[in-house]
Structures are given as structure tokens and as C-alpha cells.
């Protein structure tokens, strides 16, 4: 019975989307163009280099070597191997969905167990500092200090989520009495030549970037259709009548629940109540939105990994980020904006063109890769 209801709901939903595309063709095309532009200006230049970097870190076995250095910390805090630190660090630096992609690569290469990967997915997929500082802090709130506040809250909440999930799957481990990984896959990944690793990483990264761009374009059009059809405005009006909250604020929250970038950009219209907008931004950044979840789940699907820890982790991440921001409000005053010099720096990063953005992100990845490679070689020696 439930399956029939679900199937009919999907059919009705698809029919509604098709009808909306026919009724609003020009608006749909315009929204699609905005999604394509977003992919060219932000998604491709910011994610591609980090996708290549994360793939090479796994393919060359660098994650496993660096994991030996960080194993005491990751095991004590998150109850995962040191190899998992690569997904956490790259996720914090590269942004959504680099962390999830790296975690699944580590599992498929045999460097982490199933339980470790599920624990890792609860906290490793995070928003990058460039997005929080540039787009949200300097762009939406015109205050670099708010960007720093949100960035700190986001990172702290991620660590707390990892600690909360450190005992996930403990009963399964006790039943199986095994934490083994695929050693043959692990040995294979550590013996891949550099040239082969680079070619494989670029190919898989292009596919991943195109996959993500597809979700971004779809959800950009989808949200526009939800507004044009009146679904989001009517839903916001209904929730407002029950809770007493402002309709525009509820619309922003619904938008952010579906798609992160659209949600945080919409907050610029509610800056008269800045504290509330900052709290909403903290939740949106932690939750990430259905669009990002689809991007992450595209890597998790067919891997044998359950997605329950990922979804629960992102919900907790949003709630904890909001709570941390509320606590920080009591200690950090925001009566004055951050220094103009700092704000100009962050705004400059946020407004880079395609060529400059991809050059800067590529250089950052090269530097990180060289540092990781040198460190692993020293450790090996």
C-alpha cells in the first residue's frame, strides 16, 4: 500500500513539473541559464581541482601514509582510522561534496571499513571557507566578521557531529568481530604510478563535476517553478499562520532547505533582522540542502554504504551550527562591520572571474598536494 502511494505521488509530482515547464517555458529557460552560469562561474572552477586532488590523494596512497600521523587524533575523537582524516580535511577546504566523494573513494579503494565510512560521512561533507567567507559573509551580509563567525561555527559543529557518531555501528562490529578492509584493493591503490593516477583522477573528476552541474541546474529550475506555481508562497503562508513567523523568512528557509546557494542569497532581503538571518544561514550551511544531498548520494549509491548517518549528520550539523552561533552572539559583538580591508579581500575572492578562479583554486590544490606528498615521503623515509 505504501509503495503504491509513493509511486502515485512520484507520478503526480513528475506530471506537475512537466505541466509547469509547459506553462512557464521562458522562466524555466532563464532559470536553467542561471544554473549553467552558476556552474561555469562557481561549481567547475572551485570543485574540479579539489576533485582531482582528492582522487590523487587516494590513488597514490597518500591518505594512508598521512593517516599514520593523524591516527591517534582521529581514533580518539571520531573512532575512525587516520586515513579518514583526508576526507575530513579536504571536505573542510574544498566544500560540498568533496568530503563525501573522498570518503567513498577511500572505502572503494579498501583503505577504510564500511562502519568507518558511515561514521565519516556523518561529518566529513562540509561547506568550504571560500563560500562561507566570500558568498555568505562578504556577499550576503556585507561583513567579513560574520563570515568568520559562521565558518568557526560550521567547523566546530562538524567536529561535534563526528564525536556524536563515534560509536555508530558498534553493535555490528561486536557481532562480526571484524574491522578488516580490502587489503588487495589497498595495496593496489598504493602502487598506482603517478601518470596513471593523474589520468584516472582527471577523468573521474570531470564525470563528477558534470554530475553535480546536472543537479545544480535541475534544482535551480525546480525552485523557480515552485515559486511560479505558488507552492512555496502558499506553504510559507500556511506555516506562518500556524507559527506566527514572517512569511518571507519561512520562504527563505524553505528555499535553503532545498538549495543552499539560493537560500543564503535570499537572506539579503531580511537583513533588518540580522541576528535571525545569521542563525538561518548557519542552519542552511550545516544542512546543505537537498541539492547537495543528491550530489553526495550520487557517490554513495551502489557503494554498499548506508546513507542514514549522512542525512542525520547533516541535520544535526545544521542544528548545532545554529546553537553555536547563538552562543557566540553573547561573546562576539557585531555592532560594527569588519575592517574594510578584510572585507575587500574576501569580496575580491568572491567576485573572481572564471579563469582567475580556476587558476587560484588549482594553485591551492597543487600546493596542498605537494605538502602532502613531501610529508608522506619523509614519513616513509
**Residue 373 pLDDT class (50, 70, 90 cuts):** low
- Answer whether residue 157 shows pLDDT above 60: yes
> What's residue 344's pLDDT?
46
Q: What is the pLDDT of residues 192-208, one digit of tens each?
A: 777 788 888 888 888 88
Q: Percent of the chain beyond pLDDT 90? A: 31
Among 34-48, 137-151, 186-200, 350-364, the minimum mean pLDDT is found in 350-364
The Cα 202–Cα 112 span in angstroms is 23
What DSSP character marks residue 258? H
* Ramachandran angles phi, psi of 167, nearest 5°: -105, 15
> What's residue 204's pLDDT?
84
The Cα 48–Cα 267 span in angstroms is 28
List Cβ neighbours of 12 (8 Å cut-off, separation of 6 or more). Answer: none
What DSSP character marks residue 168? T
Q: What is the CA radius of gyration of the chain?
A: 21
Tell me the average pLDDT across 229-251.
90
> What's residue 339's pLDDT?
42
Question: Alpha carbon of 137 to those of 96, 145, 156, 261, 273: distances in Å?
Answer: 17, 7, 17, 13, 15
Select the more confidently predicted residue: 374 or 349. 374
> What's residue 335's pLDDT?
54
> What's residue 357's pLDDT?
60
**Residue 318 pLDDT class (50, 70, 90 cuts):** very high
> What's residue 324's pLDDT?
95
- Answer whether residue 124 shows pLDDT above 90: yes
* pTM assigned to the model: 0.79
- Answer whether residue 135 shows pLDDT above 70: yes
Please state at what angle helix 62-78 crosses helix 144-164, rounded to 10 degrees.
80
Question: Alpha carbon of 29 to those of 20, 36, 259: distances in Å?
Answer: 12, 10, 18
> What's residue 129's pLDDT?
87
Cell of 213: 552541474
- DSSP annotation string for 5-39: HHHHHHHHHHHHHHHHHHHSHHHHHHHHHHHHHHI
Tell me the average pLDDT across 232-256.
90
Mean pLDDT of all residues belonging to the chain = 81
Among 127-141, 154-168, 231-245, the minimum mean pLDDT is found in 127-141
Q: What is the pLDDT of residues 359-368, one digit of tens each?
A: 666 666 666 6
> What's residue 331's pLDDT?
76
Among 59-63, 215-219, 315-319, the minimum mean pLDDT is found in 59-63
- Answer whether residue 51 shows pLDDT above 50: yes
- Answer whether residue 298 shows pLDDT above 50: yes
The Cα 308–Cα 361 span in angstroms is 32
Q: What is the pLDDT of residues 66-100, one digit of tens each?
A: 777 888 888 899 999 888 988 998 888 888 888 99
Amino acid at each position: 500500500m505504501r509503495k503504491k502511494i509513493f509511486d502515485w505521488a512520484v507520478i503526480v509530482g513528475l506530471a506537475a513539473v512537466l505541466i509547469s515547464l509547459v506553462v512557464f517555458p521562458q522562466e524555466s529557460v532563464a532559470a536553467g541559464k542561471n544554473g549553467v552560469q552558476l556552474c561555469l562561474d562557481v561549481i567547475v572552477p572551485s570543485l574540479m581541482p579539489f576533485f582531482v586532488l582528492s582522487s590523487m590523494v587516494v590513488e597514490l596512497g597518500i591518505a594512508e601514509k598521512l593517516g599514520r600521523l593523524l591516527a591517534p587524533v582521529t581514533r580518539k575523537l571520531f573512532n575512525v582510522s587516520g586515513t579518514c582524516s583526508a576526507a575530513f580535511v579536504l571536505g573542510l577546504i574544498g566544500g560540498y561534496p568533496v568530503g563525501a566523494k573522498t570518503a567513498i573513494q577511500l572505502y572503494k579503494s579498501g583503505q577504510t571499513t564500511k562502519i568507518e565510512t558511515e561514521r565519516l560521512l556523518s561529518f566529513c561533507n562540509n561547506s568550504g571557507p571560500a563560500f562561507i567567507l566570500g558568498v555568505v559573509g562578504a556577499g550576503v551580509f556585507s561583513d567579513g566578521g560574520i563570515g568568520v563567525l559562521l565558518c568557526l561555527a560550521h567547523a566546530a559543529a562538524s567536529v561535534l557531529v563526528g564525536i556524536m557518531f563515534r560509536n555508530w555501528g558498534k553493535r555490528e562490529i561486536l557481532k562480526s568481530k571484524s574491522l578488516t578492509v580490502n587489503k588487495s584493493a589497498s595495496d593496489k591503490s598504493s602502487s598506482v604510478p603517478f601518470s596513471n593516477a593523474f589520468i584516472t583522477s582527471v577523468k573521474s573528476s570531470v564525470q563528477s563535476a558534470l554530475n553535480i552541474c546536472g543537479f545544480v541546474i535541475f534544482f535551480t529550475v525546480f525552485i523557480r517553478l515552485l515559486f511560479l506555481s505558488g507552492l512555496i508562497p502558499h506553504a510559507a503562508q500556511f506555516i506562518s499562520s500556524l507559527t506566527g513567523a514572517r512569511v518571507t523568512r519561512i520562504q527563505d528557509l524553505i528555499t535553503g532547505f532545498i538549495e543552499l546557494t539560493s537560500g543564503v542569497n535570499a537572506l539579503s532581503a531580511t537583513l533588518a533582522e540580522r541576528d535571525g538571518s545569521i542563525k538561518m544561514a548557519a542552519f542552511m550551511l550545516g544542512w546543505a540542502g537537498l541539492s547537495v544531498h543528491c550530489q553526495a548520494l550520487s557517490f554513495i549509491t551502489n557503494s554498499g554504504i548506508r546513507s542514514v548517518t549522512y542525512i542525520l549528520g547533516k541535520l544535526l550539523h545544521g542544528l548545532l551550527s545554529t546553537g553555536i552561533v547563538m552562543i557566540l552572539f553573547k561573546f562576539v559583538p557585531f555592532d560594527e562591520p569588519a575592517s574594510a580591508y578584510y572585507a575587500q579581500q574576501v569580496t575580491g575572492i568572491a567576485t573572481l572571474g572564471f579563469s582567475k578562479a580556476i587558476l587560484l583554486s588549482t594553485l591551492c590544490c597543487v600546493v596542498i598536494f605537494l605538502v602532502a606528498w613531501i610529508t608522506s615521503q619523509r614519513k616513509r623515509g
